[in-house]
Structure 1
Amino acid sequence: MFTAIARAALMLSAALLLSACGNGSAVTAGDGAPVASAPPDGTEPRAGLGCSWLAVSDIETTNVAFPDAGARYWLALVPNIPGTRLRIDGRYPDARYFSFNVYDPLLRPIDAIADVEIAPDEAGRNPFRNPDAGPGAGYTAFVEFTGRPDQPAPNSIYSGQVDLGPGLPNPLTAMLYRTYVPADFEDFKGGVGLPQLALETTDGSNELLPLGACEEAPLPNAFGLLPGVPLNDLIVGADYPDAVDQALGLNLPLATSPPSTRVFYGLPDTALAVLGNLLPAELPLTDALPEQTAGGGGFLSNVHNAYTSTGFDRAFGDIYLLRARAPTFPGDARAASSGARPNLRYWSVCQNEFATQRFVDCVIDRDAPLDAEGFFTVAVSDAADRPGNAVADAGIAWLPWGGIYKDGILIYRHMLPADDFAEAIHNVPRGTDPDAVMGDYFPQATYCSRATFEAAGGDAAEIFAACAAEQAERAPGGLLGPVLNASGAAGR
């Protein structure tokens, strides 16, 4: 039986959810009829209060925490009320990937479950386990408001404890539902609508607060009813005033020359890496920090992804490049021809800005041009500085820098590596030279002048080699002088 405190918390939860969703009902059409996410088999979603999902990512507005152009993110906020759990009723979307991650107040993932781990309501109907099943079948998953046990229950994730001390409770579950690379890029819901949420007793015997199956989240655009503001187009179309750098002579502590690429482990490492760029000597970054593997460390990161980041600053150049051997992915002709399992479920490279945490643009695996050696090469600049040979025919994926930004950060993602893909970012322990683990799959980076880039011709490998040779002739630099990267090497 619920205590008075639990009942009051439940009532407060309902009030918060209803106030966040305006009139507390699903989106309505012009005639007032509800518009909800209807499953493909024609069954109606349950009636509920408010909306299951509070907000959705949007490139113009809710473009925060370094998102990916190949994905869409929906956010739910649910108080962790004793004696309850959150039930998720959904259908498998027609997409490359989906998952649920739950987070602590520092935006670090506590637990997660991926598509292939979610058992279907009807045996054999999970298309991520059985490709012949096809999308649309139903599943039921749960968020338990307790710590994760040694033997977690099937289809369950746990959000009750925060890793800031022994048994520290988490008062609020922030959950992200992600989908990546839908079959139809106009519908990131994958043709099946959004999962529907409900609070119920921990034993599932009583449904306490069903939430509505709104077709669109209320934030940021009032259920999609408000017109979008083309903010990102304005950022992409801007041309950075180089006179600002020349007048101020200021370098940001986010980048070095040559560029330094690091594996992302968590917020403490990121802070120490930035601090290290402030100093003229290398800083021992990780000796005092607890053990942690790649990925899962903050900024609403995804447990199933691992990341590298490479910082750049216009003080060192108006064009920069990133290059690595391209992993195979589902649908990749290279994997199909060999009969081998794809290296990764997904990979991408995104151009971002650190302070705003916005992405400007991304190249995703299926759209990345590869050269004859099987490498991808990403070039970043303002449109006004784009070299004439920064084109796909030369094996170059060009991304806009974002003309209002002084800094840039290229984030390279790996998702769900195959067991035999030893070169995945996931397999780089902290304190290990990533080059030694990843080999050609570890990205190299360099600045470049437009003259050198264009003089190198129409082959990405030759362009990058010419730019790297030009970079090698420059004196290393950071905010206060010469800087080495974390491995002591230049430009890897």
Structure 2
Amino acid sequence: MDKTIDSMRAAGLALLLSLGLVGCAGSDSEPAGETQSAAGGASGEPASGPVRDQYPFGVACGWQAASNIDTANIAFPDESAKYWVALVPMLPETRLRIDGAYPQARYFSYNVYDPILRPTDALADREIAPVTGGLNPFVQTRRPAADAWGDPYTAYVEFTGQPDSPSPNTLYAGETSLGPLPVPQPALTALIYRVYIPDEGLDFDGGVGLPILTLETRDGDIELLPTADCVEPLLPTLGDTVPSLGFNDVLEDADFIDDPFLARPGTVPIGDPESDSRVFYGLPSTVVNVLRGVFGLPVPEGVETALPAGGGFLSNIHNAYSTNLFSRTYGNIVMIRAKAPTFREQPGVALGDEQLRYWSVCQNDLPTQRYVGCVADYQAHLDEQGYFTMMVSDAADRPTNAVAENAIDWMPWGPYVDALLIYRHMLPDTRFEQAIHNVPQGTPPIEVMGDYLPQPAYCLREIVESAGPRAADIFAACRAYTESLSRGGL
């Protein structure tokens, strides 16, 4: 068969699958009106790129779902970011075209995933070249003028394995891994678009709208499924028509019942007195850590180092994570403390001299994968030594000296027995050797990260309040309490 017949067959199959998987309005759908495409410039003037009809409730949108603090707060997200998800049918002789524009934001990226939610490839903002004559503001040596934001770009998702010489602006979603072996990806991949910290006054789209997704033949000659522009996808808010219920606010304000039985060490098998920082490598090693830390099973140390990495829980290839798992059975207050890396747009740090693009700490619940609250780099209060100190407790147990003026950033615990603090590092500078990214599996993190590795502590309100106003002194007192727990005291 010649190429034209193959393309027509692919087109018919694509249409049938995509009606269910990607979502396409029928011919009797009434458009809600013309709208500027995602390639519109920051000044409001249209730029080159497709213009689609916008349909109500997010139907026909190429993106099926978006993260939401109340209803889609899963897979350990970050409060300073928003994620949009598309499920893409990977059909022979087709590819996905992404028409977008550079948002006014700290960071954006695309990741593709396998069926067990591991990222298989990614494109960071700085890797995406603009259309001819455009500008990528994420690779400039200085912050460009306002009209540089919003320039258009085109990227692609190819449904093949990654070649030795990848094409520019291209992700490859056709392969995943089974241990050390590459295997073909099934007929569907998830594409996630992330935007972190839009400029002040802007929504998470960074002022340029959402990228438009188009399924087309691999040579780009035939559009098989052009999708509509949208402000918000169908899920979980019906195109942003369902009002927020404030569920996460309720969780933040909830105080756990202080039960003397639960307060006994070891009663609830979650966490341990040490609560050491662990680096996240992937699902297998996480399962081992859960068996050990949550269920208390005697899994020997070192077993996880023989297991494959690769991420999971819809993790971002550009991020690396360390975690500390705490339990209420050892104290009604938990803390971590570490030297703070510098970050992009930090006052006094020149663009290009930052150690990380972004860092944050979030308080999560392990079973539900929800975050209760987060502190981003620009929100953190550092002490005179350049350290951050994060504290988590119920509001009723918050010490009176746990305030920003004392360089302590407090987060609510939520109605959970556990507290899982997740520390993120994003896109480290090659000169920042202490980044989480640089900790090989099997190496104690302290050997690489040094003072940048979070140190954990349990505490009680009376100990915190008696330690004075300095974060370093408070943490030292709580570390002494924690070490006494490890020795079986108190």
Query: With structure 1 as the length reference, what TM-score do the two structures score?
Result: 0.89
1:263-322 deviations in Å (ceiling 9; x for gaps): 0000011111122332457532334324x4xxx510000000000010011111110001
> What is the distance in 2 between the residues matched to 1:24 and 1:216?
21
Q: Percent identity, aligned pairs only?
A: 50
Check if 1:47 corresponds to 2:52.
yes
Task: Kindly indicate whether the alpha-carbon contact (under 8 Å) linking 1:93 and 1:136 is maintained by their aligned counterparts in 2.
Answer: yes
Within the candidate set 11, 17, 21, 1:13 is matched to: 17
Matched residue, 1:107: 117
Task: Kindly indicate whether the alpha-carbon contact (under 8 Å) linking 1:267 and 1:297 is maintained by their aligned counterparts in 2.
Answer: yes
> What is the distance in 2 between the residues matched to 1:232 and 1:104?
29
> What is the distance in 1 between the residues matched to 2:364 and 2:24?
31
Task: Kindly indicate whether the alpha-carbon contact (under 8 Å) linking 2:280 and 2:311 is maintained by their aligned counterparts in 1.
Answer: yes
SS, match of residue 462 in structure 1: helix
> What is the distance in 1 between the residues matched to 2:211 and 2:30?
15
Aligned ranges 1:289-328 → 2 under 5 Å = 289-290=307-308, 292=309, 296-328=310-342
For residue 33 of structure 2, what is the amino acid of its counterpart? A
> What is the distance in 2 between the residues matched to 1:271 and 1:80?
30
Aligned ranges 1:185-200 → 2 under 5 Å = 186-200=202-216
Matched residue, 1:454: 465
Check if 1:271 corresponds to 2:287.
yes
Check if 1:429 corresponds to 2:440.
yes
Structure 2 spans left out of the alignment, 5+ residues: 54-58
For residue 355 of structure 1, what is the amino acid of its counterpart? P
> What is the distance in 2 between the residues matched to 1:384 and 1:357?
24
Matched residue, 1:414: 425
In structure 2, the CA distance between the partners of 1:216 and 1:283, relative to structure 1 (3 Å rule), is same
In structure 2, the CA distance between the partners of 1:400 and 1:436, relative to structure 1 (3 Å rule), is same
Matched residue, 1:354: 366
> What is the distance in 2 between the residues matched to 1:25 and 1:448?
62
Matched residue, 1:256: 272
Task: Kindly indicate whether the alpha-carbon contact (under 8 Å) linking 1:199 and 1:207 is maintained by their aligned counterparts in 2.
Answer: yes
Task: Kindly indicate whether the alpha-carbon contact (under 8 Å) linking 1:75 and 1:174 is maintained by their aligned counterparts in 2.
Answer: yes
Structure 1 spans left out of the alignment, 5+ residues: 478-492
> What is the distance in 2 between the residues matched to 1:25 and 1:350?
45
Matched residue, 1:488: none
Check if 1:468 corresponds to 2:479.
yes
* Most deviating of 306-315 and 241-250: 241-250
> What is the distance in 2 between the residues matched to 1:384 and 1:414?
31
Matched residue, 2:56: none
| TM-aligned CA deviation for residue 36 of structure 1 | 5.9
Task: Kindly indicate whether the alpha-carbon contact (under 8 Å) linking 1:428 and 1:437 is maintained by their aligned counterparts in 2.
Answer: yes
In structure 2, the CA distance between the partners of 1:345 and 1:24, relative to structure 1 (3 Å rule), is farther
SS, match of residue 242 in structure 1: coil
| TM-aligned CA deviation for residue 5 of structure 1 | 6.5
| TM-aligned CA deviation for residue 258 of structure 1 | 1.9
Task: Kindly indicate whether the alpha-carbon contact (under 8 Å) linking 2:263 and 2:329 is maintained by their aligned counterparts in 1.
Answer: no
> What is the distance in 1 between the residues matched to 2:254 and 2:64?
32
> What is the distance in 2 between the residues matched to 1:208 and 1:140?
17
Query: With structure 2 as the length reference, what TM-score do the two structures score?
Result: 0.90
Task: Kindly indicate whether the alpha-carbon contact (under 8 Å) linking 1:26 and 1:212 is maintained by their aligned counterparts in 2.
Answer: no
Task: Kindly indicate whether the alpha-carbon contact (under 8 Å) linking 1:252 and 1:407 is maintained by their aligned counterparts in 2.
Answer: no
Matched residue, 1:489: none
